[in-house]
Every structure is written in C-alpha cells, then in structure tokens.
Structure 1
Amino acid sequence: MEWKKELETNIKTAEGVKKALNWDLNAEDEEKLKNIIKRYPMSIPEYYLSLINPNDPEDPIKKLCIPSIKETDLSGSLDTSGEASNTVVKGLQHKYRQTGMILSTSKCAMYCRHCFRKRLVGQSDDEINNSFDDIINYINNHEEMTNVLISGGDSFMNSNEQIKHYLSELVKIDHLSFIRFGTRTPVVLPSRIYGDEELLEILSHYNKQKQIYVITHFNHPNEITKESVKAIDALKKQGIIVRNQTVLLKGINDNSETLATLLRKLTEIGAVPYYVFQCRPVTGVKNQFQVPFKTSCKIVDGARARLNGISKSFKYAMSHPTGKIEILGEIENNKILFKYHQTKYDKDQGRIMAIEVTDDQAWLPDVI
C-alpha cells in the first residue's frame, strides 16, 4: 500500500531535517537536536514536512513536528492525568464509568512534539494491549460501559487485520452503543485513509452494525489541505462521524483569529469541533506549549465570538486526574470558573469551582 511506502520515507534524524528543509544548522545546534531525538523520537512524513514554510522561523507546522531545545526541560510529569491508576487490564483504562479506552499501539505516523504520552509513544510497549481476550472479558462484565475508544499511539497505525479484529469483537457487545478511533492520520498521513480501500471497506462494514466515530486532531488551519479534506470525505462516505479535538498551544493557535479560523474550517469540512483542550504539563511540553489560564480564557472567548453555533459547540476543557473539567471563564478577583464535565469520582459530578489562579498558572493541582 502506498501509505506504507510513505511511512518508510519518514524523516527521523537531524541530518534528514537539515537536508529536507535546506537548513544551515551549526554543529552545536545539530548535536542538541540529535540528543533530543534520542530522548523523544522524531518521525515526520514527507507530506507533513511539505506543509512547512522554510522561510518562516515561527512556522506552526515546524513547531508541531520538529523538536525544540525546550524539550530538554524536565519539569512537569509524564502522566499528567493519572492514566496508570485507571488501568484495569493491561492496555485498557476505565476512568469514566461509560467509557473504556484501549491503548492499542505505541506507534504514530508522526510523533507530535506536544504529545501527552511521550512516556510510551515511539518508545515503549509496556502499557499496550497484548491480550485482547482479557479486554473483551472486562468490557463484557461491565455493562455500564457504553462506548470504547481505541487509542494509542495512533489507532490507525494498527494493521487492517488488527482493526478488523477489534471491530469484529466489539460490535458483538450489546451494551456498547458506539466505537471510537483516535487518530491523527487524516492530518499527518491522509493517504492512510483515502488511499486504503480495504480500511474503508472494513469501517463501512462494521459501521452498519454499530456507529463508528473517528476522533481526529487538527491544531492549525495550515493542516487543512486538499489531502486532509480528501481523507475526511472518504470517512464520511462510509457513514463514519468525524469529530475533532484541538489542543490550545503556545505559538501554534494561541490567538483568537487563528483558533476561530481553524474551528470554522473544521465545521465546513465535517470534522466538527468536539473539545479544545488545555495543554497538559507534560515533561518536555509544559514550558514550550502551555498557555496560562487567564490568557487562554480570553483567546477561547474571542474565538467563540467569531463563530456560529455549530462551530462553537465544543467544550474548552482539561484532562485532570479527577476528570474532564470544563474551563468556563474568568470571573472577579483573579478567579476562573471550572465545572466537571466527566468525573472519575461520583462526588464530583456537576461540581462547579471558582478557583483563584496566578497570572502564569496553566494547570490545577491534583487535589482540588
């Protein structure tokens, strides 16, 4: 398949980046880049690399795929939302009563620099499912679970055979209403979708038995291209519902006009905005991409003011260890209003909090 050949040509080294972008890196900077790549692997499809404007030192696509020296900052955490504590079977997390999440692979078509699973993506299979029977047994025994998210890594980096196996077993479970795939391939390697008729046939077949959703991840308007639109269209033609999750990222989409343009265009192509997430304080990510609450609230409010009802139907939220918390906005006396959207603990259901924050604060403590 052509997309597999494309993956084989991914740029993975400092030398490859220099050559592809015609960079004049000095020896010191090249050595720094090599050391970062050793810690956090780099892998960039040539398609995605072609979206970079090499004449723009602040190009957002470049920041999303090429390491920065800021990744050497070791502040933050490698598990910011308590995923380890929510693992019930190897490769299956059950944090929210209605949802199971399967870590199906550690591979991605591209290793995003803001990834919140840097601890495993491209590096370790320690948390990845290796006994699907155990996962199916757990789901069968928990009828409160109404949906499953197949994640990773990138769920569409599984083989078609593996995707078919997941779907063939999950559609048999009566209490599951729908199945979700988390994938960034429509954005970074769209040929994985529009160029693979077998994958589309598999999705179409099982979508007739249970509704399939694809949750994808556009972060900047420059990622919306004729190729990525072609991938979204291919999914929609199979009856797949496509939703988008965006992360608010410093230097990428941290102004109201850019964010509004992104969300408006996503609505136009049928990848309706689902969440805008606060960037997590991940090691190697925190000080590079996080935007303080006070600033981010103004950005999101400004974007919403530019959008119609469908485009602004998203929740602005953070994935906290205790649940998904909606960030409602700033009120008086340096306070931000927060509300639990999904909860790990029943006691937090619907809870609203007015929390005083500092000017540079971008996350909440684990206990609130």
Structure 2
Amino acid sequence: MIFSEGRRGFRAYTTKHLDELLGRGGLDEQARLRVRAVATVLPFRTNAYVVDELIDWSSIPDDPIYRLVFPQEDMLPEADVSRLAALLRDGAPAARVQEAAREVRMRLNPHPAGQLELNVPRVDGESVQGLQHKYPETVLFFPKQGQTCHAYCTYCFRWAQFIGEPDLKMASDDIGNLVEYVKAHPEVTSILFTGGDPMIMSEAVLRRYIEPLLGLEQLESIRIGTKSLAYWPDRFVGDPDSDATLKLFAEVVASGKSLAFMAHFSHPRELEPDVVQKAVERILESGATIRTQAPLIRSINDRPDVWAHMWRRQTAMGMIPYYMFVERDTGPQDYFAVPLADAHRVFRDAYAQVSGLCRTVRGPSMSATPGKVCVDGVTEVAGQRVFVLHFIQARDPELVGRPFFAHYDPDAVWLSDLRPAFADRFPFETAGAPGPLST
C-alpha cells in the first residue's frame, strides 16, 4: 500500500482537477482545452504543496515549477494536440480519446535505452520482472507499490510507467526474487530502488523491501531514487510515518551498508522552503548521504547561474552534487532538449562558478543504451572540430573512462545524432556483449 493521502495531510491533484487548477493562472477556455488534450497523452499528477508553495501563479505559463509539473500545449505536435482537443470538445467517447492518445504515445519512444527489453535480466530463459541489470555492480529494482510519485515531472523519462499501459510497466513485489538474484551475482554490490518514487510507500512497505537485503554481505550500498524532498518534504518531518522511516534509514547504516538518498532537484526554488532544510537535516542525522541530480531542461534550468546556485545551496545544506543529465530521447524531448554543445557550455560555465566542494558533480551525461556517456568538451583535433566524450558507466566495463571522439554537430541532442570521428565506428559499436544481461 501507499500512504493514505487523507490521513497524512497529502492532497493529490490529477487530470480531473486540471481545468480547475489552470483557472488559477487565468488561462482561457481554449488554452485549458489544449492543455487537457496533452494530458490525455502525458501523465499529470501534482499535489497541494507544489501548487500552493512552489508555483508562482502570477507568472504562468513561464513559471519554471509550473512548467515542471503541468503539461504545455506545445509539448506535442500541433496536429496531434488539435485532433485530441477536438475530440474532447465534441464529447467523444473516452475509448476513442484514449485510442487517439495511445497512437501519439507510441511515437514518443516510451522506453528509451532499451530499458524494458535490453536491461531486464533473464534466468533460465525467463525475464526477472521488476529488475534491471545494466551495469555489473548495480541492480535497479522497481517496487510495485512505488510506481507513482508525489507529483509527475513533465520531462520524466519514465512517463510510460504512469499511463496505465500494463505492457509498458516495470514493477515487482517479489523481494525474495531480488535477494536470490543478487546472491547468484556476486558482482552486484549496490541496489537502487527506483520507480516512480519509492518514497511514496509507507515505512512498513518500504521496510519489507529493504530489511531482507541487510543480511547480504556482498551489498555495500542501497540507493533510493526520489524527488520527495522537492515535492513532499513533509514526508520526513511532519508525516506520522517520518520517525519510523528515518529509523529504518539508521538501521541500514548500522548494518554496515551505505544508504544513499538520490534526490532530484530541478530548480533552486525547490530548495527554498524551510521544511526542505529540516527534512535534509533529519535524513543526514540518520547517517544517510544525499546526492543530488537532475536533467538539463530547456526553459526551466538551462542557464549556468541556475545550476551554480543549486550546487552551492545543496552543498551548504550538506548534500553532494552528483549528476547533470542530458534530457532523455523520449516523451516531449523536442520541447525540453538542449543541444549537447550548449549543454556542455552550461555545465562548464556553472562549474567554473563554484568551489571544489561542489565539483563532485559530473555531466552533462547521457544515459544511453551502451552506458552513461559524458560530454567532456568541444575541441579541435587534426584540423577537425570534435566532441570529446567518455563513459562514466558502460555495459562493457572495459569502455569506462576511455575517451572517444565524435564530429561536432551544433544541433545534436543525443548520442544517436553523433557520427564517430577518426574511426569508422564508436568504441561501443565494436565492444563485446554486456555480461550481466546475458545471464
């Protein structure tokens, strides 16, 4: 079970509240209709904390937090939006609207980097549900009760988890299966709980997943990927379950394992409320560490000063800047994507503004099919302008840390847009088969 929204003071808003919420910003009927049309394709969910504490309604549609959680009509092709809006306006049957919406979704690459097929391990010919094993040392686990969030980000590369398509979901409630898989793979030293958002679960449910892992000597760390500090920080402060949750965190640390809280902060405003500072303090007091990450998102955080401010503030609060990601090749990528050359410029200029304590951050990094590819810069080699890249992580560990080159392309936004320089192929195109996925 996830927590009871009424009992804990958490109020969720979904598509049935969308028209009412949009009215707060003064959008006219036609504009609201077109936003609702986009929401038939992309998932929408937010909550009272985000709506009342983080969004500046006098500044919409340009307010960055509003753009983070509310669909925008230009996130999809105009023809698709107009078609869906006409169906809604004419009162078309729900099944017809959903059929039209599904057609659009299937063109949006709902599972980038082969995450539904390539990264799911197989044992005796059968796929192990709810697990991904892309890198030898790390297994991702998708708890069934954690497949929603306190609020959905419009840029989320896992948007397909939230649209009610069973064939696109990754989830499991079989913790025994996870334990046995880890035991069978001694190279695995870290488990990452992800979703959705695992922190949507109550402490009792979260404990059922985490406690069986504490006896696995090979495990060095447990990670929790979450945006709860940004979208529902009261989960760790005033929530009736907060003390028990923090006790569970302390038990993980006491067992000799590192507990890493992988916190998603996309904009400095998410760090401003006092309750966020208090939540961070309580998590750190449990012995857990907090590492911060987010994608670079056009129109929301695509300026160096925004990132420099975030990294300084996060460091001052006791958190560790970790990753700047490149927006994934899925969903409304055309709306959010920043060209790789510009992404590196933003990263470099932000990096130059901060002290060494903030320079734990890495990026801009693409989580692509062969691994996490970092754009190190643009330079000239042998008379050619090129991108310099390297793998932070790779399906083939032999590729990690080895620089390679691609022809400079000012419009490239993803690895697939690049062409190899000084070679016929990229290194990963000739590398051997990835070990952990073939078992």
CA shift in 2, pair 1:304/1:92, >3 Å: same
| Corresponding letter in the other structure for 1:235 | I
Aligned to 1:322: 370
| Corresponding letter in the other structure for 1:276 | M
1:329-368 → structure 2 map (5 Å cutoff): 329-332=377-380, 333-365=384-416, 368=426
Aligned to 2:202: 159
Q: Which moved more, 1:10-19 or 1:21-30?
A: 10-19
Give how far 1:223 is off: 0.6
Aligned to 1:296: 343
Aligned to 1:52: 55
User: Kindly, what percent of the aligned residue pairs are identical?
Assistant: 25
Give how far 1:20 is off: 7.0
Output one character per residue of 1:115-140: Cα deviation in whole Å (capped at 9) or x when no partner. Answer: 00111135356310132221111011
Aligned to 1:250: 298
Give how far 1:32 is off: 1.8
* Unaligned segments of structure 1, at least 5 residues: none
Give how far 1:6 is off: 5.9
Give the one of 359, 367, 378 matched to 1:312.
359
CA shift in 2, pair 1:19/1:252, >3 Å: closer
Please tell me whether residue 83 in structure 1 is matched to residue 83 in structure 2.
no
Give the one of 180, 183, 190 matched to 1:140.
183
| Corresponding letter in the other structure for 1:219 | S
Give how far 1:72 is off: 2.3
* Distance in 2 of aligned mates of 1:21 and 1:327: 42
| Structure with the largest fraction of helix | 2
CA shift in 2, pair 1:211/1:349, >3 Å: closer
* Distance in 2 of aligned mates of 1:257 and 1:52: 20
Output one character per residue of 1:25-47: Cα deviation in whole Å (capped at 9) or x when no partner. Answer: 22222222222222222111111
| Corresponding letter in the other structure for 1:53 | D
Aligned to 2:30: 28
Larger Rg computed on CA atoms: 2
Q: Which moved more, 1:171-180 or 1:327-336?
A: 327-336
| Corresponding letter in the other structure for 2:58 | N
1:11, 1:17 within 8 Å by CA — same for their partners in 2? no
Output one character per residue of 1:95-119: Cα deviation in whole Å (capped at 9) or x when no partner. Answer: 0000000011321111110100111
| Corresponding letter in the other structure for 1:150 | F
SS of 2:68's partner is helix
* Distance in 2 of aligned mates of 1:282 and 1:322: 16
Please tell me whether residue 215 in structure 1 is matched to residue 262 in structure 2.
yes
SS of 2:261's partner is strand
1:111, 1:122 within 8 Å by CA — same for their partners in 2? no
1:192-231 → structure 2 map (5 Å cutoff): 192-195=235-238, 196-209=242-255, 210-224=257-271, 225-231=273-279
Output one character per residue of 1:73-107: Cα deviation in whole Å (capped at 9) or x when no partner. Answer: 45652222221211111001110000000011321
1:327, 1:339 within 8 Å by CA — same for their partners in 2? yes
Output one character per residue of 1:176-204: Cα deviation in whole Å (capped at 9) or x when no partner. Answer: 01111111101100111222212112222
* Distance in 1 of aligned mates of 2:9 and 2:135: 34
1:248, 1:291 within 8 Å by CA — same for their partners in 2? yes
SS of 2:315's partner is helix
Please tell me whether residue 65 in structure 1 is matched to residue 69 in structure 2.
yes
Output one character per residue of 1:308-361: Cα deviation in whole Å (capped at 9) or x when no partner. Answer: 011122110110100111211111244211001111024423331111132221
SS of 1:191's partner is helix
* Distance in 2 of aligned mates of 1:357 and 1:18: 47
| Corresponding letter in the other structure for 1:186 | L
Give the one of 268, 284, 296 matched to 1:236.
284
SS of 2:314's partner is helix
What's the C-alpha RMSD, in Å, of the aligned pairs?
2.1
| Corresponding letter in the other structure for 1:192 | R
Q: Which moved more, 1:50-59 or 1:212-221?
A: 50-59
Q: Which moved more, 1:75-84 or 1:296-305?
A: 75-84
Please tell me whether residue 175 in structure 1 is matched to residue 218 in structure 2.
yes
SS of 2:140's partner is strand
1:257-276 → structure 2 map (5 Å cutoff): 257-276=305-324
SS of 1:130's partner is coil
| Corresponding letter in the other structure for 2:65 | I
CA shift in 2, pair 1:7/1:87, >3 Å: farther
1:218, 1:245 within 8 Å by CA — same for their partners in 2? yes
Please tell me whether residue 282 in structure 1 is matched to residue 282 in structure 2.
no
* Distance in 2 of aligned mates of 1:251 and 1:313: 25
Output one character per residue of 1:150-181: Cα deviation in whole Å (capped at 9) or x when no partner. Answer: 11100111221221112211111110011111
